[in-house]
Structures are given as C-alpha cells and as structure tokens.
Amino acid sequence: MDGPSGVEMVRGGTAARLVRSCLTSRRSELDAVLGGVRDPIDRRPVLVRGERGAGRTALVRTAAEQLSGEGVVVIFLPCVPGDAEHPLLLTLRMVTALEEHRARTAGWRPSGTSAADVLSAVEQGDRAAVRESLAAALAQPVPVVVVVDDVHLADSASIALLGRVRTERGAGGARLVLTAVDHGPVGGSSGSGRAVDRLARNRTVLTVSLARLGPEDVTAAVSQQLQAVPDRRLSELAYSLSRGIPGAVDALLTGWADQGAIRVVDGHGYLDSTAPVPVLSDDDRFIAALDALGEPHRTAAAALSILWPLGRAAVELGAAASGLSDANIEAGIRALTDAGIVDELPSHDADSPALGWRFRVPLVEHAVRERLGPLERRRLSAAAVEALWAAGETAHTAALLVEEADAVWYLPDRIADAGTLLDRSRAATELVAAADRLHPAPGTQAIARWLGTAALLTDQPSARDLALFQYAKVSYLNGDYAASTAQTEAILRNPGEGLSVLDLQETGVLAVSAAAADDNWARVSRMAEQRWWDDLPLPAFTEVAGRTIALCLLERWPEALALLDRTEAVWNTDPAYRFHPELCRAACEYVVGRPERFLRSLDAPDLDGLPPERVYSMTVMQLDHLLGTGDLRRAEDLLSARGMTSEVLWATSRFLLCHLQGRWNEAMETARSALAHDRTFDAAPNQHLLAARTAAILLARGRTTSASRLLDSVRGRKPGPLEHTLDHCEAEVLRALGELDQAAGILRRGLEAANERQCVYATDELWATLAVVSQEAGRHADASACLSRLHTLAERMGSGRSRLLYLLASARVLGGDPAEDVRDRLREAVDLARSRSQPFETGITLATAAIAGAGPKTLLYEAYELFGETGAALWRYRARAALRDAGLAVPGRKQATTENDHLLATLIAEGLTNRQVATVLRLSENAVAHRITRLFTRTGLRSRTKVATAVLTAAR
C-alpha cells in the first residue's frame, strides 16, 4: 500500500523529523520488568542489564511512566561516576529518599529510622545497622518503586546489600528496580562490577537482560523514529553501523537528521546516497566512556580504528606509529575490552590467543578514526599499507586481513589516507586500479576520493588526466553534479595530453549532462551556444556533440537538427566520432515526427564495434523513447536483443518499464526513492515522465491532491524542457474533479508549447484527452477537430499507443452514431490492447468496450482484476459500479466494502469536499454524505481526519 495521503510525495521530499522510540523492539523486556514489579508474591529486586547504549535507562523510564499512571510512586536515583569511592553511599541515599517520601505521605508514621542514624552507621561502617535501616525504609505502607539507574557506578558495599534485602509481601512495600551495564563475557573488572555480576547470579534477584536488536528490530526502531518506512539501504546501514545497539541507532538517526540527509516521501524514509556517516559528539555516551579511560588507552583506540583489520599485527604497528611500547598498546587494548569498547576476535583454536580485536560498535570506530589528526591518520594508514605491501601482492590482501574486515575497500581507503607518505607512483596506480574494479558503483563516494588522491599523487600527466576524467564520471554517478561540472569544465579548458579525442567528446557531453541534472538550465542554455565553446582548445566535433546534447536537453529540436546537418562533414568522419551525433539525430527526428531513422537504429547492426559503455548509453536512450511512447513490446524486445535486464537500468528507466508492465508498487518504490534523492533527471524528451507517470498512478489510486502537488513540485525549470507530459496529467486530475474548462485550457497550453518547438512526441495523449474533454463539455466541433489531429498523428508515427488512443477517443466522441462503427473501433481497440500487454491500459479498453456493448459484459470482470493487479483503486471502484449497472455480481462483497471505505478515506485524506468526492465517484452529494456517515458508524470516530487516518493505517 502507499503511505498515508497526508505525507506529501514531492520532488526532494521533506526533511525527517524524529520521534523518539517507544521501545517497540523491547516489549517483552518491558513486560518482564513490569511483571516483576507488580507481582504481589515474588518480590525480588529487578535488575536490568545490557551493554552501553542497550536502552536500560529508556526501558526503566518507560516502565516508571506506566507505573506512575497507575498511581504508583516512583523514586528515581541515578548513580554517577565517583559514587563507588564512598562506601554505603547508595544505601544512605535510598534510605534518605524513602524516609522523605514517608514523611510526605499524610497519616503515616515514620519507620523509626532517621537519616541521621543511617549516616552515623555509615560513618562507623556498621553494615548490620545500615542493612536494618534499609529494610525498615523499604517497608513502606504504600506501593513505591525505587529505580536505581547505573548501579554499576555505585559502591560495592551497597550493591552487596541489595542482594540480601527482601521486601515483605502485601499491598505496600517498596520494590527495587536496578539497571547496570553488562559488557558480556569480559565481566566486571572493578569492585562494583564484580558486585553487580554476583548480584545478577543471585537467585533472589530477577535479572532482565537486554540483548542487541536484530535487523528487523532495528528497521522497526528506525520506522518508529521516522514515522515512515525506511528504505533498505537506510535500514541496512543503521544495523551494520550500530550492530543492533539502540543508543547507536539513535545517534545515527540524529546525526543524519541534523544533516538533513534523511528525506521522507509518501511515508517512506530515504538516506541521501552522498550523506557521510555522522561523527559522534564529545558528550556522546560512547565517546565519553572512551575519554574517561585517558591515556594510553585513547592512543590504543586510535591505532585500532585504522589497524584492527590486520589482527594482532595492530599492536606492533600501532606502537611503531605512535611511539608507545607494545606493552602500552596491549594494556590500552585490555582496558578498551574491559570497558566494552572493543571485542576480542576469538581464534578458531580455543587454546590460541585472540586473532585480534574490533570495535563493538562500528559507529564508534568511525568516530575515533574521524577524530584523528591528519598526520596521525596518515602515519597509521601508511603503516597498514606498508605492512600489506611487504607481505605480498594486492591480490592476496584478503588473506592478510581478519575475516571481519572489508578486504575490498580496506587497502585503497588506507592508501588514500596515507597519500604522500607512500611510494607515490605505486599508490596512484593501485588507487586507479581499485576504482576500475568497482566502477560503475553509484553512491560510493570513496571511489571518487581514491581517484582524486591518485591524481594528486601521480607525476605522470597522462595518468593524472585519466584519473581526473574518471573522477568526473564517478562524481556524476554519485549524484555529485557540482563536482562533476567543475572537473569537466577544468578538463575542457585545459585538456591534457593523456585524454583521447573521444575522451574529450565524452567530457563535453558529461559537462552538459551534469549541468542539466543539477537543474542549472541557464548554464545548459549557454552551452548550447557556439560562443561558449569558441575559446576552448577542443576538436570541432567535441563542440558539435556538446552543443547538440545541450539543444536536445532544452528540447530545441529543430535547432539541434539544423546544427547536425550543417556540421555533418565535421562529425561524420569516423564511427566512434559520430556516435553521439547520430544518437541525437535519430532522437530529434523521432520527436518531431520522423520516426524512420530511430526505428532503424533499433537494429544497430554495428554494435560489436562499440565499447560496452556506449552500447549501454544507446540502449537506454532508445529504451526510454520507446517506453515514453508506450511501446512496451518493442522495449522488451530491445532489452532482450541487447542482453540486458531491468536490474542494470537507471531508476527512471526501471520506473517507466514497471509502470507499463503494471508493476505499480515497484514503480512507486522507485519513484519515491528518485524523488527523495532528487534524481528524476532523464534524457530528453523524457525528463518529466517519471513525475507525470507517478502522478498518474496517484490519480488512479484516488490521490488527486497528492498528484497535483507532485506535478507542481517539478514544474518551473526555466529555460528547461517542455512540460506537456505534466500538463496532460494535471488535466486528467482536473477532469476527475469535474473542472473541464480548466482541463481543456491546460491541454491547449501543453499542445501550443510543444508546437512551438515542433515536438509531436507524447502529444497523442493530449489530443486524445482534449477530444474527450471537449465532448464532455459539449464542444462537439472542437472534439471532432482534436480527433482528426490525433488520427493524423497516429498515421504519421505508426505508434500502437496513438492508434489505441484514437480508437478509444473516437468511440467516446462519436458516441452511438453510427453505433456499429463505434463497436468495430472498440473491438479493434480490444485486440490492439491485448497485443500490447499493458494491464492498466488493457483494463481501460476492456471496460470501455463492455460498457459500449462492443463485447460481452463479462469483460468487466477481466478489467476489474487488472485494476486490482495494478492497485488502481479509483478505476476498480468504477468497474464495480459498471458491474452493478450491468446486473452482474461483484466478487467478494466484504473485500468490496473494505476497498470502498479505503477509497473514500483516501479522498477525504486528500482534502476533497463532499462535492468533489461526489464528482470523482460519480455520485450525488447526498450519497457521499450517507457513505461518510456509515464510515463514522463503522469506525466509531467523528472526525474526517481521524476516520481517514484510521482506515488508511488499517489498510497498510
């Protein structure tokens, strides 16, 4: 299901606002704590244990809030560092707090124990007297719960007493809830830590352990805080960087939210692919625990943050790089292990020493590494690289690292960090080789960093030129368009000898594409002019390719064709040189209504001579043109002929393919991600198709206002591409709301803009809709004129979609005159639609034919199922109405009622008035009012907003 309608689906999304977790993943542990406190028979103290960041405090605070709501008094006593140095201090604080509570309780006599008596006993070290005072204080006449947080920081004598104190049975009495850190098998190293370990093993204590969260629990926690469904990448990163520790998850989300890196679209949360991992602040619990250890432990942690993948060698290497002794580093690592900051990596042989160590929380490792000074980081990284180089070839790196390390990324990351401290030539060569092995890999900022470092390290101009060229391409793939633009322009203004003329041509094309993807249309306009290129020392065909791409992106098709015709002698001299110009010419001619060259190019007999990147570029361009005109069959054949699958396509291409195939939920998932990351850019003339088709899906699901907001959010890119595909969808929204005159005006505006640029691409939809809208508004002559233009266009382009649109529109415009002619057209439409295998389009055609009597009424059942497959709720509702009008039974009465409620709730949530709802559903206002009343009755709610939220949430 889609997210609630109240969550906008707009370009760029909205910044995430965190709602702190309600312990959705700790429900069983919370129940255990509450059960232990409420049990009138088993009155053991409750000890909540978990490692740092496990959520001990959050859990007991939630329990305290629930108990307070039941009228139970809760006394909260937090322990702090330094408490352990004062014997029996915690006991004194507990007795004092309980006696003060007793004194505030009207009608109750004191226990006979004063704070002064206890203080005296503490000072004299009379533990028996202190124990008796504590027992008397705990014997409260009314229920009270004492929560001691971080009891591991308390004095060991008080902790020992807590394990020997039992409160009496009955309605009154105080109950104890304690929290303590637990670092697992390491155990407590201090006196207080050992005392807590003994307390946990005591059968008179109920111990509740907080384990790490699993991947699904982390996803649930992220969803709770975002109030949105996180995408897979966000969930996976949250788990891998936190290793399931809630405190680390909270820190991650807070850091990303502060960066504005999490965007919410349509109830789904997405992490910006360029967002860096947050660095924990000085006051973060994990960093504070490390800083509290002091030296040499912090130096050991710094060394491990770089060297731990090398196993036990990290000790020697860390000592050499830091100037400390091996013994100091080993002592620091032991302290880090005792403090729960790092874990040992056990050997496969139980009798052998540990293989090494790694940070318990990867986010802490990242923070420690990022806090290193530049020189310290370079020295440690250089030590790692030199050790790996000395041990053997790069291909054997994986064998030299511990299993838990990332062998693919570790060495090049360390080389990039070490920089000039290494052999510059070898470092640069290995960085470029690593980038080549992983390219293309969108979303990997590290690869761009490797290439940038390689360019700085190499002394060979040709190698530096190639590294910077690759850097520009990888930056574009990562969505860092500003970096790509800056680097491509630098290359164009000062092209190095290491770049071939084809590299320069590709750089020019990339420079234009990066500016367009960055929405810098003023820059693209300048790049479309010759004077922008005049001062650049480039081959002539590079200028032609760049200018042509710019003109195409601006959808100035006639100018692009004129430029290509005028300069053919420049670029049509070599198959490699003419690749981009030929692609552009075929596309331009197709867009202006001359499809022959483009259709011939689909066969592409000379593909074997092209490099894979160019074959991919050509295929995607051709595929998108076919998908944009609704030619699914030919698009699928093209993919098959080129040996490609949808998985290798860019997001916009995958979206268009899924949309036509009726896989709308997959299409919406892709669209949400593209919108959140602001990656909706596609080559002309499809630059607005993702938004337009997404809005069409929203409309088909009854989300009229959401569709309009999405369209508004992507408009206004002046002097950018045409917006007539957006105009078509906006007109359909207005038509659904009964605003026929406004719809007609917007359709004419789109057609006029397309005509100004001699564009016929995707105008068939506008002509078809304008014909129907004109007919519905009673302007029959206008409708006939539009129909005639659509017929001419269909004949000119030979497009199956244009023909189908013409057949359906003519049936609506001609009506029943002559009836047999209309039925013949609809029968042809049914055959054509079935051959095109597009579920939604087929459903529309079948329903139209059945209602007009051009086929059996049972076609409505098939249309009904097709609308269900795509999730086209509004059209499924209309098919139900048509079934009833035809006297046919509607399948699944209960399901139909649920779907009706959901659609009505959706329209309400979209902010539609009763009159607008009536128009969309083709009912009277009274009928809508009755339906809303029945919905109120079924839900027990009286607010339109609450009803909509309840119904939509239940349906998710």
Tens digits of per-residue pLDDT, 423-479?
Answer: 999 999 999 999 998 876 666 789 999 999 999 999 999 999 999 999 999 999 888
Half-sphere exposure of 270 (CA within 13 A, CB side): 25
Q: Tell how strand 144-149 and strand 73-78 pair up.
A: parallel
User: 3-class SS at 940?
Assistant: coil
Query: What does the alpha-carbon distance between residue 146 and residue 149 come to, in Å, rounded to a whole number?
Result: 10
Closest CA relative to residue 495, chosen from 436, 542, 457 = 542
Query: What does the alpha-carbon distance between residue 96 and residue 138 come to, in Å, rounded to a whole number?
Result: 11
Closest CA relative to residue 811, chosen from 793, 831, 828, 794 = 828
**Tens digits of per-residue pLDDT, 565-607?**
999 999 998 888 888 899 899 999 999 999 999 999 898 766 7
Taking the CA atoms of the chain, what radius of gyration do you get in angstroms? 35
User: 3-class SS at 174?
Assistant: strand
User: 3-class SS at 46?
Assistant: strand
pLDDT of residue 382: 97
User: Which residues make Cβ contacts (< 8 Å) with residue 848, sequence separation at least 6?
Assistant: 808, 811, 812, 826, 829
Cβ-count burial 297-326 (b if 16+ within 10 Å, e if not): bbbbbbbbbbbbbbbbbbbebbbbbbebee
Contact 657, 619 (CB under 8 A): no
pLDDT of residue 860: 97
Mutual orientation of helices 664-676 and 689-700 as an angle, nearest 10°?
130
Query: What does the alpha-carbon distance between residue 956 and residue 832 come to, in Å, rounded to a whole number?
Result: 36
Tell me phi and psi for residue 145, to 5 degrees. -120, 130
Q: Provide DSSP, 478-518.
A: TT-HHHHHHHHHHHHHS--TTS-HHHHHHHHHHHHHHHHHT
Q: Beta partners for 264?
A: 14, 269
User: 3-class SS at 146?
Assistant: strand
Kindly give the parts of the chain with pLDDT less than 50: 1-6, 168-171
**Tens digits of per-residue pLDDT, 178-193?**
999 987 665 556 778 8
Strand residue runs (E) in 93-149 = 144-149
Query: What does the alpha-carbon distance between residue 140 and residue 899 come to, in Å, rounded to a whole number?
Result: 57
Burial of 363 (0-12, 13-18, 19+ CB in 10 A): buried
**Tens digits of per-residue pLDDT, 610-664?**
788 888 888 999 999 999 999 999 999 999 999 899 988 989 999 999 999 999 9
pLDDT of residue 489: 94
In the block, tokens 């007609």 appear at: 744
User: Which residues make Cβ contacts (< 8 Å) with residue 487, sequence separation at least 6?
Assistant: 468, 471, 472, 475
User: 3-class SS at 210?
Assistant: strand
pLDDT of residue 170: 45
User: 3-class SS at 340?
Assistant: coil
Q: Tell how strand 229-230 and strand 268-271 pair up.
A: parallel
pLDDT of residue 818: 60
Q: What share of the chain is helix, strand, coil (3-state, %, to 5)?
A: 65, 5, 30
Q: Fill in the DSSP letter of residue 740.
A: H
Query: What does the alpha-carbon distance between residue 559 and residue 757 come to, in Å, rounded to a whole number?
Result: 9
State which amino acid sits at residue 578. R
User: 3-class SS at 345?
Assistant: strand
User: 3-class SS at 854?
Assistant: coil
Cβ-count burial 850-863 (b if 16+ within 10 Å, e if not): bbbebbeeebbbbb
What is the four-CA torsion angle of 598, 600, 606, 608, rounded to 10 degrees?
70
Closest CA relative to residue 116, chosen from 135, 134, 92 = 92
Query: What does the alpha-carbon distance between residue 64 and residue 71 come to, in Å, rounded to a whole number?
Result: 11
pLDDT of residue 580: 87
Query: What does the alpha-carbon distance between residue 276 and residue 487 come to, in Å, rounded to a whole number?
Result: 21
Q: Tell how strand 262-265 and strand 342-345 pair up.
A: unpaired
Burial of 201 (0-12, 13-18, 19+ CB in 10 A): exposed
Closest CA relative to residue 221, chosen from 56, 52, 362, 18 = 18
Strand order in the sheet with 14-15: 14-15, 262-265, 268-271, 229-230
Positive/negative CA dihedral, 217, 221, 224, 226:
negative
Tell me phi and psi for residue 701, to 5 degrees. -100, 10
